[in-house]
Each structure stands twice: as C-alpha cells, then as structure tokens.
C-alpha cells in the first residue's frame, strides 16, 4: 500500500470517529445542564477517550484508578461509555438491586461471529430467549444431580492425567537408574488437557468403548487447537471492540482470521451434534449434554435449533476449560510457594482418604482445608477478573451517581477480592481465613452473581477439587531448583499465569501400588 492509500485509510477512519466524539461532547453538555450527577472520570484523550488505559492487565489498571477516583467511576472507551465498580457494596447494588437493569450484554461487532450472532447464553440480551436457555442449563445440563452423574467421567479423566504424570516420572526414573524418579512437569498443559477431556466426554461422549483407555480423544485435541486460535479475539483489551470502524475496515486483518477459525469451530461442533444424533437411544440419565438438547429439539425444533445447541455447547466448553485449568494452576503455584499449606492439605487428605486408594468425588466435600485453598485461590485470582461485561437497559443510580441506559458495566472482581477494607492482608495467600466460617458475609464472587451468574459453578468446583486433591495425594511436589515460582499475571479475558507453571513431581512411596493400577 502506497503513502497516499495509507492517508486515505487513516482519514476514512478518523472522520467518523471525530464526528461521533463531537456529537458525544454536545450531548454531554446538554446533560450537564440538567440535574444528572454522573460518576467521576479520569482525564480523557480527545476522540479515543480512555482507550489508552486498555491493556492486557486491564483489571489491575482499573484497580489503580479506583484507588484514585473511588469505587464507582466512569470511562469512555472509544464509542462506548463504561461504568466501573470496585467495591462489594457497589457490586451488590448493580447485580442485586439493579440486576434486571444490568442484565443485558454489550453487543460487540467482533464478537457476534464468535457467539453465534447473540444466540449464546453468555452474550444474549436478557429476555425470554435468555431465560429459557438459562433454565435448561441450570436444570438439565449443570444441576447438582446432573453433575453427580458426571462424577465417574471426571474421575476417569483425573486418573488418566495421574497416569500420564506417573509415566513421565517412571521415564525419568529409568533414565536415572532409580526405582522412583522425579520428573519436571508442565502442569498448565496437563491441566488444560484434563479440562478439555472432561468437557468433551460430558458434552459429547467422544471416547467410544474401543478407545476408552486412550488418554485423550482426537476431538479433545482438535478443540484445544481451536481454543488457542479463538481466545485472542475475545479479550477485553481489543481496541476494535471500542472503535468498530477499525473492525469493519479490518486494519489489523483480525476479521479475516476470525472468520476462518469460526468456520472451523462451527464445523467441529456440527460434527459432534451429528454424531450424537445417530445414538439418541442412549439410556436416560447417561445421555450426553448434546443428547439432552437433541431430545428437546425433537419436541421443540424451533426453540432448539442446531445453532442454539452449538452456541450452548460452545459456552460450556469455553466456561469450563480455560477457567478450570487456570484456577488449578494458580492453586498449585500458591501451594508450592507456601509449602506449609501444601503439607497441611496433604495431611488432611491422608487422614480422610488414606493411602490405600485414590481420592473420589465423594471424598471432596469432606476435605475442609482443600476447599479453603480453592476459595483463597479464587479470591486472589478469580477466573474472569472483570466478569463478562454487562450493559444497562434502563437509567438507574449506582453509588449515588446517575447511570444512563446503554452504559457498559465492568465489575472488577479482582479489586473487590483484594479490598483492604474487607480482607486482612488482602494480597497474601492465607487459606485459614476461610476456616470455621470466618469469612462468612464477605463477598466472594468468582462466578459472578445475580441473573448472569455462571451456571457451571457446581461442575467447576467439583472438577477443581478432585483434580487438585488427586495431584496432592498422589505426588510429592517441589519447585524447580528450589526457586520461588514467579507470580506474574498474563492478560486476556481470564487471568492466566504469565509464565506457565513447571514443577518437579515424584510419585509418593505410600501410593506406589495405587499408581501402578492406574
């Protein structure tokens, strides 16, 4: 592209943005003459507003702004007005008192292809369609009873993960000529493989009887590749979501790339649906989630189209893979940097379960300290630190400020969980703060709250508890070269570790026979 063409593109983009900015300024002046009391806001850049603040660690930036401007403040992100809340009181006000007003989702042009044009449960606006999908997800796909039926699948996949780690340790032992060897394990990869396998089995039953002993199904591996390609397009730090013209002009080439991966994703999900359609004669409660939805499709074909089923499955995969594996990775990281807590968790498991058998899903509710570790991990590193954004459908008041309809709401769970006015030593890992109900009444909301709360909480906690407990029970863990693990955070929609966790593991002598039988 020559210089003249570049200038034409820049002017084409800049002119409508500048026009929108001037109109917004005029509208703002008109409102200022009335009685509205708008939330405080940091200084803005002409046209772009506060887009220069958007970064991969957006939750940290917003936490610093809250310390300066208060727990309720506003931002102008290009073409969008945003309200940011960073205290338990303001979060409760938005998601309980004004729950219906904030029950919509902002509709980003770049995310419509990813979320099936608004058909996905996570991004559809509040109304009959959303309420029906939410009911189906909560009552038929992710209820406590249904999750209980999934326990054998979860346990089988956890055993497969333990088997893979044990094999790696055995290979290390063979190289060293020792009976029991220690192996360096990339835990992030192992945990993500496990999360994908669990969801793939419960959603679509991809492991047939003939390959039941395989560690991962080919479908699980294919989905992992799709997730890696699609995640960068749903970050909260994508500038094109706030300057839509950049998306349509496709300055960064993102629209073309996204279209390609969405086609691949849709074809993959359609194959899963078609495969389940051929075996709908499965016994009632043993049906996969797709089979349950296909049964509903037979009675209400217009309400449960293949697109709706694909959208629900995509939400289940998206909510249950990256977030579950990341939470477990942070928990192991924190335990390795706090060996006394790791020792305490292991002693509890040995006392409750023993060393003659593997931990089961039925054991997890009895492991009180393990739950304290999980709660403290999600307090420090909530899976989605800003939740998914909400949007106001009506004018309302938050923290004494007027919030116009159409305002995007960002709830900074990361800041709320580290509020020094609520939590003692808020940045320190102290699982004991959750013992004996000591944290009762304090707001812990890693899965959100209100009408938009994640319906997969029960499945996520069941999976994390079983995985983390198994890792602690079966292996002795240590840091590589004894060096403290870097706690730097990555960026994106979730809150991954900047440097994937690598640790040294050795099969426990007391569990040797149990591990041999995996």
Residues marked as binding for heme? Answer: 454
Q: CA of 384: how far to CAs of 159, 192, 249, 403, 413, in Å?
A: 28, 16, 30, 24, 8
Helix (H) or strand (E) holding 294: helix 289-299
Q: What's CA 447's distance to the chain center, in Å?
A: 9
Query: What dihedral do alpha carbons 125, 129, 131, 136 form, nearest 10°?
Result: -130
- Say which residue the tokens 């290979």 belong to: 171
Round to whole Å and give the CA distance between 84 and 100.
18
Dihedral sign, CA of 430, 431, 437, 443? positive
Round to whole Å and give the CA distance between 427 and 417.
9
Tell me the binding residues.
454
Round to whole Å and give the CA distance between 461 and 443.
17
The residue among 79, 107, 77 whose CA lies nearest residue 19 is 79
Question: Residues 371-383, buried b or exposed e (16+ Cβ, 10 A)?
Answer: bbbbbbbbbbbbb
The residue among 401, 374, 359, 384 whose CA lies nearest residue 453 is 384
Query: What dihedral do alpha carbons 144, 495, 391, 262 form, nearest 10°?
Result: -80
| φ, ψ for residue 70, nearest 5 deg | 105, 170
Tokens standing for 245? 């013209």
Round to whole Å and give the CA distance between 105 and 128.
15
The residue among 375, 114, 445 whose CA lies nearest residue 262 is 114
> What is the DSSP track for 81-148?
EEEEE-SHHHHHIIIIITTTTT-B----TTTTTTTGGGTSTTTSPSSHHHHHHHHHIIIIISSHHHHH
Round to whole Å and give the CA distance between 450 and 441.
16
Q: What's CA 420's distance to the chain center, in Å?
A: 25
Please list, in sequence order, all residues whose beta carbon lies within 8 angstroms of the beta carbon of residue 236, skipping any fewer than 6 positions away: 54, 58, 386, 389, 492, 493
Tokens standing for 298? 């037979």
Round to whole Å and give the CA distance between 187 and 190.
5
E strands, 176-332, in order: 183-186
Helix (H) or strand (E) holding 189: helix 187-204
* Burial (CB count within 10 angstroms: exposed 0-12, middle 13-18, buried 19+), residue 350: middle
């Amino acid at each position: 592209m020559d210089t003249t063409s570049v200038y034409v593109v820049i002017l084409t983009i800049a002119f409508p943005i500048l026009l929108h900015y001037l109109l917004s300024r005029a509208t703002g002046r008109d409102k200022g003459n009335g009685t509205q009391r708008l939330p405080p806001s940091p200084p803005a850049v002409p046209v772009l507003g506060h887009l220069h603040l958007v970064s991969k660690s957006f939750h940290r930036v917003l936490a610093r702004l809250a310390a300066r401007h208060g727990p309720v403040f506003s931002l102008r992100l290009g073409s969008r007005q945003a309200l940011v809340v960073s205290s338990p009181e303001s979060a409760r006000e938005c998601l309980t008192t004004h729950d219906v007003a904030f029950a919509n989702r902002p509709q980003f042009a770049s995310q419509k292809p990813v979320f099936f044009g608004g058909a996905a449960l996570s991004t559809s606006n509040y109304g009959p369609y959303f309420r029906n999908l939410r009911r189906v997800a909560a009552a038929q796909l992710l209820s406590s009873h249904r999750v209980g039926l999934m326990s054998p699948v979860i346990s089988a996949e956890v055993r497969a993960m333990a088997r893979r780690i044990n094999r790696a340790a055995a290979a290390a032992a063979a190289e060293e000529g020792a009976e029991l060897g220690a192996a360096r394990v990339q835990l992030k990869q192992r945990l993500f493989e496990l999360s994908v396998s669990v969801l793939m089995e419960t959603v679509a039953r991809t492991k047939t009887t003939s390959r039941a002993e395989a560690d991962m199904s080919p479908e699980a591996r294919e989905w992992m590749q799709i997730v890696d390609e699609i995640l960068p397009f749903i970050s909260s730090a994508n500038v094109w979501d706030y300057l839509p013209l950049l998306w349509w002009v496709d300055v960064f080439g993102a629209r073309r790339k996204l279209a390609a991966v969405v086609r691949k994703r849709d074809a993959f999900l359609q194959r899963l649906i078609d495969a389940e359609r051929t075996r709908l004669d499965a016994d009632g409660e043993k049906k996969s989630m797709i089979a349950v939805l296909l049964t509903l499709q037979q009675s209400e074909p217009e309400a449960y189209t293949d697109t709706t089923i694909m959208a629900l499955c995509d939400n289940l995969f998206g909510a249950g893979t990256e977030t579950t594996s990341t939470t477990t990775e942070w928990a192991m990281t924190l335990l390795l940097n706090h060996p006394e807590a790791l020792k305490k968790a292991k002693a509890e498991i040995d006392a409750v379960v023993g060393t003659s058998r593997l931990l089961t899903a039925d054991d997890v509710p009895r492991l009180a300290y393990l739950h304290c570790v999980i709660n403290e991990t999600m307090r420090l590193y909530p899976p989605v630190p800003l939740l998914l954004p909400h949007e106001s459908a009506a004018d309302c008041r938050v923290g004494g400020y007027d919030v116009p309809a159409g305002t995007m709401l960002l709830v900074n769970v990361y800041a709320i969980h580290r509020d020094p006015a609520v939590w003692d030593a808020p940045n320190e890992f102290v699982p004991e703060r959750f013992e004996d109900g000591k944290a009762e009444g304090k707001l812990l909301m890693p899965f959100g709250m209100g009408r938009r709360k994640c319906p997969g909480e029960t499945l996520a906690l069941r999976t994390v508890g079983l995985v983390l407990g198994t890792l602690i029970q079966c292996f002795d863990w240590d840091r590589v070269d004894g060096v403290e693990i870097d706690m730097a955070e990555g960026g994106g929609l979730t809150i991954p570790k900047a440097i994937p966790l690598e640790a040294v593991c050795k099969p426990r002598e007391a569990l040797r026979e149990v591990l041999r039988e995996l």
